[in-house]
Amino acid sequence: MDGPEVFSVAGLKRGSDYDGDRSLNSQAINFLNSQHQQSYQRVVDFDLHAVFLMQEFRAEDTIKQIITMISTTFTEEYPPKNTLQQQLVNAAKLVNQRIQNYEQQPHMPKPFCLSVEAPMIQSGEMSNQFPTSQFPLSTKNKGEIRARPEAKKSTCSFQAYGFGLGSPLSAGAADKTIKFATYSIKKIDLQGHGDHWKSDPKPNLPEPLRSDPGPTMRGLVELRHDMVFYHRISYWINKVFLPDASSIAESAVKYLEKKASTAVKESIQVEKNIIIAAQTITVNTHPNTHRDRNNALLMDSVFFFGNHIGGHFLLPGLGVAYPGLHGYSFHGPFRILFHGVSQFHFTEDITDPRRYSVAMWSRASSFSAIARFSAHDNGNEKFSDDKYWLPLYPEYNPKITSDLLKAEVKIAKKEAKKESKKRQKTKN
């Protein structure tokens, strides 16, 4: 050779342009199956359904008062009319059953929902036994710098379909929170009850959203397009751990694709995870420890990248911290779980520190809007189409999950072989 070989990117495609979906699925499913087989299972004292109920009601309401309010409000003659109301009814039934089981067998450990409230630990009293955030718990999504002052920082979000927070387009489509009297739910204010809603304008379907059309967004979108494998990981985690919810969500998105604008259809077509089709990418920033109260009840994801030497992803409600090293990820119900990060660290010789965080999530209003639109489109006889209502998180069953993964591995292998043969025929 006359000189050093020069690497050229000419002709290379983005990850999102890769059309070998069957092969990609096979890789993602096999990876998840391997991880699940090697996983360590730990039980913590935390009731997801009870916490969900308490978050949707007032701070002064006890869990038994919440269950009573729900059971006396929603009956066979007065059933739930939207996704949130149905989720509350189902959660109340599950938690009430746990309470009854304990009352019938008081020698059993007291369930989480009946435990005496633990005293609040002030920031100055925290021990050093586990990583803690420099920032307090908060319900505000305000970004805080997690790097040196000279480090460039940015945040951008985009949704293949969705509504901006407070958007007038979501009026009448998003599930409204419950309103209360002194010791009861205000029936008259429950969304979908009565018939006054029948005269409301036709609801809107969600549209593509971008938080910033400038160069920052354009640059970070390239990162998104090269994360197809991670999108498939997030997709299959939902399919395996939440089979019912993910099936309903996929059905809703397919309906949206038929009924929505051309912009939505084109946006969905390039997505590698159509049910978790919203992403927030941050560089050297991270919100305060918070929960994403507007998310749908699906499995959200966060992936960590960068030239740092590590940090921790904090889940204070569970009392645990997960490694936040480059390439690590966490998947869970971020609508319910408070989450945040501890300080991420960089070596002294790093002059251009970078900590990328890629969050994948879905907004509840997107699915409630689809359910509302479908009901209106089918004669406006009911407020919301219940076939698009997302269910609660199911109880984790290791054997069922393992069996589902093994079944998907077999299917993926067959599909990958078909794709390989097809490619060989095309080459010949």
C-alpha–C-alpha distance, residues 218 and 210, integer Å: 10
Short-list 22, 19, 28, CA closest to 240: 28
Using CA atoms, how far apart are residues 110 and 39, in angstroms rounded to an integer? 28
The whole-angstrom separation of Cα 16 and Cα 32 is 21
pLDDT at residue 294 in the model: 93
Domain boundaries, given as residue ranges, for the chain: 45-135+150-396
Considering only CA atoms, which of 46, 58, 41, 44 is closest in space to residue 95? 46
pLDDT of residue 9: 41
Diameter of the chain measured on Cα atoms: 85
Write the DSSP assignment of 274-304 as a string of letters.
SSS-EEEEEESEEEPBB--TTB-SS-EEEEE
Q: What does the pLDDT read at residue 8?
A: 40
Q: What's the pLDDT score for residue 10?
A: 46
pLDDT at residue 108, rounded to an integer: 86
- Cα–Cα distance measured from residue 69 to residue 88, given in angstroms and rounded to the nearest whole number: 11
pTM for this predicted structure: 0.86
Going from the first residue of the chain to its last (428 residues), give the mean pLDDT of each consecutive group of 10, the final group possibly shorter: 40 54 85 92 90 94 95 96 98 96 89 71 51 54 51 77 82 87 93 92 90 59 73 95 97 96 91 91 78 95 88 86 86 94 81 85 96 96 97 94 92 80 73
- How high is the pLDDT of residue 343? 73
